[in-house]
Structure 1
Amino acid sequence: MDQIPDPTLQITFKDDITRLGRVWDDEADGDGVDARMRWDPADCGTLLSINGTPIALQYWCNIYKGKRDKRWKLLKSTWTEWKFIVERYRSSTPETFWDEFSDAKGDCLHWKAICSRLYQLRGNREQELVDQAKAEYGNEFTTLFVSRGKVLEKKSAIVCQYLALKNSTIEID
């Protein structure tokens, strides 16, 4: 833990979502990747580097998460916003993303509005999957969707169990 530097909590991508796309993961460097979203190890190294190796943002949860490491608690909500936005941003093209996340006048939505919309979409999708699980499993629901002897109530837990039963990695947003 002592060898891992503190995360830079002042990092913001509010005005540069394209940069977030370039520093999110180290696998986005192939020919099929939009040049604007290709992995940029030099830039990523300015955010977090361990023993000279740049660490992509997607791995920060693995690095800072731990029972004795309290830094993740400070970083988790910001990292989750980054994750939701970059996943949506990379799911098609930057132009498609901005078409979806612009107002009626064509102005790009601000960060918090994008996050709110993504959380809403995710919640809607989770509810669809919960309803689907309940309809599909019917009377078996109360025996299959259980943890520690109690029927699952949280949508996210039900969705997780449903996808595990279906052996699926469906995107929920």
Structure 2
Amino acid sequence: MWDDTSLHWGRESVLQLQGRPIALVYWPELYRYGKELQWKGIKAPWCDWKFIVERYRRGSREAFWAEFTEENGTYMSYTKIASILRQQRMQADQEIVERAKAEYGDEFDVVFSYRKGNTHRVMTDPASIASKYRSRHPN
């Protein structure tokens, strides 16, 4: 349901256009051009699914469920998996912020800044800083 280029695509989706199923990966393109409140309402769960699918595809099915299985042997819920992944992203972003500050030193305020109107501001949001750092250091 996530991606129509995957072997797992079953040509099924709750969202359809003219009878054709639309994979989740394309939903932002559709919802952004409709009423803005539609995307605001669906963005958070869509992002959770995006990160779950990315983690699932990173390794094998067995590796994914080994990480996201409760002690009693049952699979964790979508909500719990999304929460764990969110915490991991926040921790990774914070580590990148610390690395960026150490790496850039006095230049940090210049490199990790933006303009708002006529004002120059230094980034403070860890996710934004991490995103900019990753764009400057592609693997």
What is the TM-score when the length of structure 2 is the normalising length?
Answer: 0.88
Deviations 1:138-158 (A, max 9, x none): 111011100111000001110
Q: Structure 1: where are the runs of 5+ without partners?
A: 1-22, 30-37
- Offset of residue 67 of structure 1: 7.5
Query: Partner residue of 1:89?
Result: 56
Q: Which amino acid aligns with 1:59?
A: Y
2:120 aligned with 1:147: no
Q: Give the Cα–Cα distance (whole angstroms) in 2 for the partners of residues 139 and 26 of structure 1.
A: 46
Q: Which amino acid aligns with 2:10?
A: D
User: How many residues are paired up?
Assistant: 135
Q: Give the Cα–Cα distance (whole angstroms) in 2 for the partners of residues 84 and 160 of structure 1.
A: 15
Q: Give the Cα–Cα distance (whole angstroms) in 2 for the partners of residues 68 and 96 of structure 1.
A: 39
Query: Partner residue of 2:4?
Result: 26
Q: Secondary structure at the match of 1:147?
A: strand
Q: Alignment identity in percent?
A: 39
1:69 corresponds, among 36, 39, 51, to 36
2:129 aligned with 1:162: no
Deviates more, 1:122-131 or 1:104-113: 104-113
Q: Give the Cα–Cα distance (whole angstroms) in 1 for the partners of residues 36 and 87 of structure 2.
A: 31
Query: Partner residue of 1:13?
Result: none
Which structure exhibits the higher relative contact order, with contacts defined as CA atoms closer than 8 Å and separated by 6 or more residues? 1
- Moved segments of 4+, more than 3 Å: 66-69
Higher strand share: 2
Q: Give the Cα–Cα distance (whole angstroms) in 2 for the partners of residues 151 and 67 of structure 1.
A: 33
Superposed, which structure 2 residues align to 1:103-118 within 5 Å?
103-118=70-85
Deviations 1:54-102 (A, max 9, x none): 2110110111014843211111111111111111112111211110011
Q: Give the Cα–Cα distance (whole angstroms) in 1 for the partners of residues 30 and 56 of structure 2.
A: 24
Q: Secondary structure at the match of 1:70?
A: helix
Q: Give the Cα–Cα distance (whole angstroms) in 2 for the partners of residues 150 and 87 of structure 1.
A: 32
Q: Give the Cα–Cα distance (whole angstroms) in 1 for the partners of residues 98 and 33 of structure 2.
A: 34
Q: Structure 2: where are the runs of 5+ without partners?
A: none
Q: Secondary structure at the match of 2:9?
A: coil
Q: Give the Cα–Cα distance (whole angstroms) in 1 for the partners of residues 73 and 54 of structure 2.
A: 22
What is the TM-score when the length of structure 1 is the normalising length?
Answer: 0.72
